[in-house]
């Protein structure tokens, strides 16, 4: 515990220096351009302020629950320091979930905190950090109703945390399937009722003609999505984008199933359960990551959910049950190191204009292609674990009783 407190305090001091001296914008982030910190959270605060003043406000890609937050000058003072609280919680929660058995794992913790995707999430104070912290709280908490409320709040605040509802089936081993299903049904009607009366949320989801709508999806750079390679192929060869997407979705399913069959033969899944804390991190975190990877064009700060795969992989690695786990673990570490190179290229000139057309530099296309391929392979591998986990959860959902251990 002392080691974790020291490492967490050290990390916060380094972050304070990076922020206060402006090194964050100099070495990590150029996308926002304004140089102002916590821009994403400020965007939310401005929306809350606009809503409270009863003005006609632009649509933003958030559920209406955020806009129910009150706004006063005194509350605004809290809203302005809230990102600092997020950073503190993020650092100490992250260090909490990684066992510090030796200096290698201390280095890993620092790598997870200071890699460019995490730094971007903290610099923006993006709402993904809030949901990351809520997810960890849910996994650790034994307050049943508090967890249920937080799951519903998370969904109504952003919608993609719909995956948090899986927690109802993995929170407690001796909870009946009927109770879990009842919770799902109750939450379903509560959420549907809220969304139905949430005019802002409905318009943000489906669009509204004549209204300004600020969408927050990533463009070409800083991208984490299955759509990355199809976009590049469309740009280079003018292939049909829809056909490319169908091909890559099919390819993704194929590879995920192949990895699943391979790992199943290697007996990697034999020690997995639904209820250990490491398994719950993985199930909730990687299901969230997979949903976003397949459906949305995400800025790569959403990769913070990838962190939640590591406690399970470390546990399996320490059990020395399979050399394949070591390879996956090393692959993830190398990917995190690669992000520093990727981020450096992103900070350079990525394109220029010629005859009113945007032309990308080869260096940008090359590094974006490498990242797209690496992301595709990694998420396919992690999805193979989810095939195992989610099959068991679906059995619970449809009243198949699990005896003793689900494996």
Nearest by Cα to 66 from 76, 51, 54: 51
pTM as predicted? 0.92
**Could you report the per-residue pLDDT of 106-119, keeping only the tens digit for each?**
999 999 999 999 99
- pLDDT above 60 for 207: no
Residue 359 pLDDT exceeds 50:
yes
Q: How confident is the model at residue 212 (pLDDT cuts 50, 70, 90)?
A: very low
Output the six-digit token pair for 122.
């903290």
Residues 299-328: what's their mean pLDDT? 92
**pLDDT band (50, 70, 90) for residue 23:** confident
Per-residue pLDDT reduced to its tens digit, 143-179: 888 999 999 999 999 889 999 999 988 987 776 667 7
Average pLDDT over residues 11-39: 77
Distance CA 292, CA 225 (A): 7
Q: What does residue 211 show for φ and ψ, rounded to 5 degrees?
A: -115, 145
Greatest Cα-to-Cα distance within the chain, rounded to the nearest angstrom? 67
Instruction: Give the percent of the chain with pLDDT over 70.
Output: 89
Distance, in Å, from the CA atom of 290 to the CA atom of 187, rounded to the nearest integer, reads 22
Whether residue 28 has pLDDT greater than 70: no
**What pLDDT band is residue 245 in, cutting at 50, 70 and 90?**
very high
Phi, psi (deg, nearest 5) at residue 70: -75, 160
Q: If pLDDT is split at 50, 70 and 90, which confidence band does 21 have?
A: confident
For 360-397, how does the pLDDT look when each residue is reduced to its tens digit (9 = 90+)? Answer: 999 999 999 999 999 999 999 999 999 999 999 888 77
Report pLDDT digits (tens) over 265-298. 988 998 899 999 999 999 999 999 999 999 999 9
When the pLDDT of each residue in the chain is averaged and rounded to a whole number, the result is 87
Q: Give the SS3 label for residue 351.
A: strand
Confidence of residue 199 (pLDDT cuts 50, 70, 90): low
Q: How far is CA 247 from CA 52, 316, 327, 407, in A?
A: 46, 33, 27, 33
Output 352 or 90, whichever has higher pLDDT. Answer: 90
Q: What confidence tens digit (pLDDT) does each residue in 223-241 have?
A: 999 999 999 999 999 999 9
* pLDDT given at position 197: 75
Question: Under 8 Å CB-to-CB from 380, ≥6 apart: which residues?
Answer: 252, 255, 256, 259
What pLDDT shows up at residue 62?
A: 78
pLDDT tens readout for residues 39-98 = 999 999 998 998 887 777 776 777 778 888 999 999 999 999 999 999 999 999 999 999
Closest CA to 364 of 220, 225, 218: 220
Q: How confident is the model at residue 31 (pLDDT cuts 50, 70, 90)?
A: very low
Contact 299, 223 (CB under 8 A): yes
Interatomic CA distance for residues 101 and 104, integer angstroms: 8
């Amino acid at each position: 515990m002392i080691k974790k407190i020291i490492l967490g305090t050290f990390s916060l001091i380094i972050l304070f220096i990076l922020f206060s001296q402006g090194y964050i914008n100099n070495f990590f982030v150029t996308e926002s351009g304004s140089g102002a910190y916590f821009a994403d959270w400020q965007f939310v605060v401005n929306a809350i302020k606009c809503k409270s003043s009863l003005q006609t406000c632009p649509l933003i890609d958030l559920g209406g629950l955020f806009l129910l937050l009150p706004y006063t000058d005194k509350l605004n003072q809290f809203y302005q320091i809230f990102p600092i609280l997020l950073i503190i919680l993020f650092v100490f929660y992250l260090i909490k979930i990684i066992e510090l058995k030796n200096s290698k794992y201390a280095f890993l913790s620092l790598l997870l905190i200071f890699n460019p995707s995490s730094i971007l999430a903290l610099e923006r104070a993006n709402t993904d950090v809030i949901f990351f912290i809520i997810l960890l709280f849910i996994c650790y908490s034994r307050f049943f109703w508090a967890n249920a409320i937080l799951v519903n709040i998370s969904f109504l605040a952003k919608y993609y945390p719909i995956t948090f509802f899986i927690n109802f089936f993995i929170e407690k081993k001796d909870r009946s399937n009927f109770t879990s299903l009842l919770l799902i049904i109750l939450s379903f009607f509560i959420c549907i009722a809220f969304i139905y009366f949430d005019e802002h949320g409905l318009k943000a989801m489906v669009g509204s003609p004549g209204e300004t709508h600020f969408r927050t999806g990533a463009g070409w750079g800083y991208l984490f999505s299955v759509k990355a390679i199809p976009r590049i192929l469309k740009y280079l060869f003018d292939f049909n984008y829809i056909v490319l997407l169908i091909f890559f979705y099919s390819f993704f399913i194929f590879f995920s199933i192949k990895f699943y069959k391979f790992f199943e033969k290697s007996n990697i899944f034999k020690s997995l359960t639904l209820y250990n804390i490491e398994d719950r991190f993985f199930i909730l975190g990687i299901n969230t990551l997979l949903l976003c990877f397949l459906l949305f064009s995400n800025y790569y700060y959403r990769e913070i959910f990838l962190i939640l795969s590591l406690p399970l992989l470390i546990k399996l690695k320490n059990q020395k049950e399979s050399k394949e786990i070591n390879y996956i673990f090393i692959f993830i570490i190398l990917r995190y190191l690669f992000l520093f190179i990727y981020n450096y290229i992103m900070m350079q000139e990525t394109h220029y204009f010629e005859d009113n057309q945007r032309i990308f530099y080869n260096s940008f296309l090359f590094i974006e292609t490498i990242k797209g391929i690496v992301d595709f392979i990694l998420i396919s591998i992690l999805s193979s674990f989810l095939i195992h986990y989610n099959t068991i959860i679906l059995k619970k959902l449809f009243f198949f009783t699990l005896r003793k251990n689900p494996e």
